[in-house]
Amino acid sequence: MNQLPDIIRDFDRVSPEVVKQAAGFQAAILADVAGRRGTLHARVAPVHERMALAGPAFTVEVRPGDNLMIHAAIAMAKPGDIIIVDGKGDQTAALMGTLMLSACKKLGLGGVVIDGAIRDKLEILDLGFPVFSAGFNPAGPTKFVPGRINHPVSVGGVAVQPGDLIVGDADGVVVVERAKAPAMMALAQKKVADEAARLEAIARGDTASTWLPAALRAAGVLKEGESL
């Protein structure tokens, strides 16, 4: 039986045009139009709230506390790629720090998302490169346990395929399936317009939610004919 290699070098990425469009939307907007799914667990957060990223997923699976395969991923990833690491949520050792992240920036990568710990927080803040992690730990990693590159992974409770669209901002990270991403752009644009119109209405004093009474009746909170 043929077996996939641990390192997959070639895969289809979400297009640069879609990435450019997606970078203009909040992660929350994309999560809503994608069916309110694909958002990583809140433990995976930006090092600084102003950090943002958008790009194709370059997936990495490691054993807890070992970063051998992340080094390999940095050597392989293309400019604009988002290295997204299934670190099993482990926070007992940092998987990345200033040296590795400086290399990522120099190579023109789009950012790093890691379901695990990192270190060198203050230096990363100065680096100006978008990094999302599950936490921080000063302990260093080992570098000898095999893992996999560009296989399907689970990061922050979300399935991620190589080439999927990754978007992150102050609220967290959302993953949109590569094949689904192009269709989401028009939906996202419409949602932005709808929310802008709603904000204008609120500013005029229209704070009532027209859908609320029906929803309360459907939930059994209000009886027919009752109102708040």
Q: Known binding site for Mg(2+): residues?
A: 120
Q: How far apart are CA 164 and CA 170, in angstroms?
A: 20
Which residues carry a binding-site annotation for substrate?
Answer: 97-100, 119
CB 136 within 8 A of CB 45: no
Which residues carry a binding-site annotation?
Answer: 97-100, 119-120
Q: Tell me, letter by letter, the H, E, C secondary structure of the chain.
A: CCCCCCECCCCCCCCHHHHHHHCCCCHHHHHHHCCCCCECCCCCEECCCCCCEEEEEEEEECCCCECHHHHHHHHHCCCCCEEEEECCCCCCCEEECHHHHHHHHHCCCCEEEEEEEECCHHHHHHHCCCEEEEEECCCCCECCCCCEECCCEEECCEEECCCCEEEEECCEEEEECCCCHHHHHHHHHHHHHHHHHHHHHHHCCCCCCCCHHHHHHHCCCCCCCCCC
Q: How far apart are CA 45 and CA 47, in angstroms?
A: 7
